[in-house]
Amino acid sequence: MMKIAFIFGTRPEIIKLSSVIRLSVREKIPFVTIHTGQHYSTVMSRRFFRELDLPMPDYNLNIRSKAPWRQGDHTGRMMMRLEQILLKELPGVVVVHGDTNSTLAGALTASKISTTKAFTGFDIKLAHVEAGLRSYDRSMPEEINRIMADHLSDLLFVPTVKSRDIVLSEGVKRKKVFVTGNTFVDTLYFKRPEWSGNLPGSPDKGGYILLTIHRQENVDDKKRFVGILKAIKKIGVDHKLPIIFPAHPRTVKKMEEFGISVSGWMELMEPCAFTEFIALEANAALILTDSGGVQEEACVLLVPCVTLRDSTERPETVDVGANIIAGIDPVNIVKSARVMLSRKRDWKNPFGDGRAAERILDVLVRQFGRKK
Ligand code: UD1
Ligand code: UDP
């Protein structure tokens, strides 16, 4: 059986590859895990290995970003180390997830090694989990990363039919593309006994608004960030709901740098563990976010969501009525919150049945099952 190399670096990649890694352990599929170190705080990385029953990474490259305008430096440093490790481990297939700099570094490195096949014999296939997402906004680093990963990949595991159609329309060959559902649903169901304990009858149910915000375009731009926070404050006051805010470290650093204080009107806290965060999402009256994964989770948990961005690569959430893309105009954010707070929570889950990992591993074993 060929060896898989899972390459990841951030919180959402660890969470969303976890079901595939757990299943690989169960099925005794040989694999190696490589953490780029992009996320390094315990609350953004280490804690999830314990919580999600994952083996600790075989390698941790400890490669941190230096500044948002030095993305080439970040990606390049990862590639140099990844190449050394992949040439040592020689996996049959590299699996990357999503749209971060770690995704791009893993995808490019594996593809570059394969271009030497004629004279080295090294041939590493590339598989992209959560392929086919597009915001159609190339000013976002994530859009560049996901387009590159999709077009370099030998196998594209897309969460929905919509994402399949996107990559097909861009000329990706149909035989490379597999609709699997989103892997976060697998983990949501796997951890249900832990998070659902806090649900029915909870005194907090519907008693607060949950906020997450961390995207470069929102929090690195002071004017934009302050405008969004003003709108959020008004929403809390208008609806007499407290705002709970487990803040990403990037956001906390920017708040300190810009001298922004939210004390007195917002409950700012450390990033949560996965099950703790899911329980917070599931109990919320409304979720305000610029996260990709949180838009999806809100949709599956039947919690209304307002997205604090100009675009989404998760249009399925809008199509079913679970999400409004409010942009950053404070008036529109406040209006969107009012609409979503009164929306009936009866939409359908577009992200699958929680068996994405089985489908992904099934394809990998069928395609690369023989020893190289
Ligand atoms: C990255 C991804 C983004 C994803 C997010 C998930 C890129 C370009 N961006 O953004 O798509 O939505 O992860 O959370 O890959 N920091 C810490 N501790 C950590 C991690 C980050 O303090 O564990 C701080 C550091 O100051 C760092 C900054 O956050 O410089 C930004 O981190 P970085 O990994 O560059 O980007 P994210 O904002 O986390
Ligand atoms: N998440 C978490 N704790 C938190 C906030 C988020 O475990 O305090 C999880 C959330 O459930 C989701 C993922 O992190 O699975 C989303 O990651 P993030 O918002 O950092 O990145 P994005 O999805 O925007 O790339």
Whether the pLDDT of residue 13 is over 80: the answer is yes
State in Å: Cα 138 to ligand 2 middle: 22
Indicate which ligand has the atom closest to the C-alpha of 246.
Answer: 2
The token duo for 73 is 């430096």
> Residue with the nearest Cα to atom 3 of ligand 2?
272
Give the tens place of pLDDT for each residue, 57-107: 999 999 999 988 999 999 999 999 999 999 999 999 999 999 999 999 999
* Domain topology for 4-182+353-368: Rossmann fold (3.40.50)
What is the CATH architecture assignment of 194-341? Answer: 3-Layer(aba) Sandwich (3.40)
Which residues lie closer than 8 Å to 152 by C-beta, 6 or more apart?
107, 108, 110, 111, 126, 128
State in Å: Cα 295 to ligand 2 middle: 10
Mutate to test the pocket of ligand 1, among 43, 65, 143, 213 (most ligand atoms within 8 A of CB): 65
Count of beta carbons in the 10 Å neighbourhood of residue 80 = 12
The token duo for 91 is 């996996």
The token duo for 249 is 């470290």
Residue 372's pLDDT is 43
Sign of the Cα torsion 219, 323, 287, 18 reads negative
Residue 206's pLDDT is 86
Q: Which residues line ligand 2 (CB under 6 A)?
A: 11-12, 15, 184, 212, 246, 271-272, 274, 277-278, 291-294, 297
Whether the pLDDT of residue 204 is over 70: the answer is no
Span 205-218, average pLDDT: 94
Start-to-end CA span in the chain (Å): 8
Count of beta carbons in the 10 Å neighbourhood of residue 140 = 19
Residue 198's pLDDT is 59
Q: What string of DSSP letters covers 90-136?
A: --SEEEEETTSHHHHHHHHHHHHHHTTHHHH----EEEEET-----S
Indicate which ligand has the atom closest to the C-alpha of 101.
Answer: 1
State in Å: Cα 96 to ligand 1 middle: 17
State in Å: Cα 239 to ligand 2 middle: 25
Quick check: do 4-182+353-368 and 194-341 share a fold? yes
What is the spatial distance between Cα 308 and Cα 330, in angstroms, rounded to a whole number? Answer: 10
The token duo for 65 is 């970003």
Q: What string of DSSP letters covers 263-291?
A: TTT-EEEPPPPHHHHHHHHHH-SEEEE--
State in Å: Cα 90 to ligand 2 middle: 31
Residue 370's pLDDT is 52
Percent of the chain scoring above 90 in pLDDT = 94
Mean pLDDT of the chain: 96
- The residues spanned by each domain of the chain are 4-182+353-368, 194-341
> Residue with the nearest Cα to atom 11 of ligand 1?
100
Indicate which ligand has the atom closest to the C-alpha of 18.
Answer: 2
Residues identified as active-site: 214
Total number of residues shown for the chain: 372
Confidence bin at 297 (pLDDT 50/70/90)? very high
Which residues lie closer than 8 Å to 252 by C-beta, 6 or more apart?
none
C-alpha radius of gyration, the chain, whole number? 20
Task: Tell whether ligand 1 has an atom less than 6 A from the beta carbon of residue 65.
Answer: yes
Whether the pLDDT of residue 199 is over 80: the answer is no
Give the tens place of pLDDT for each residue, 274-285: 999 999 999 999
The token duo for 269 is 């806290």
Residue 205's pLDDT is 72
Residue 369's pLDDT is 78
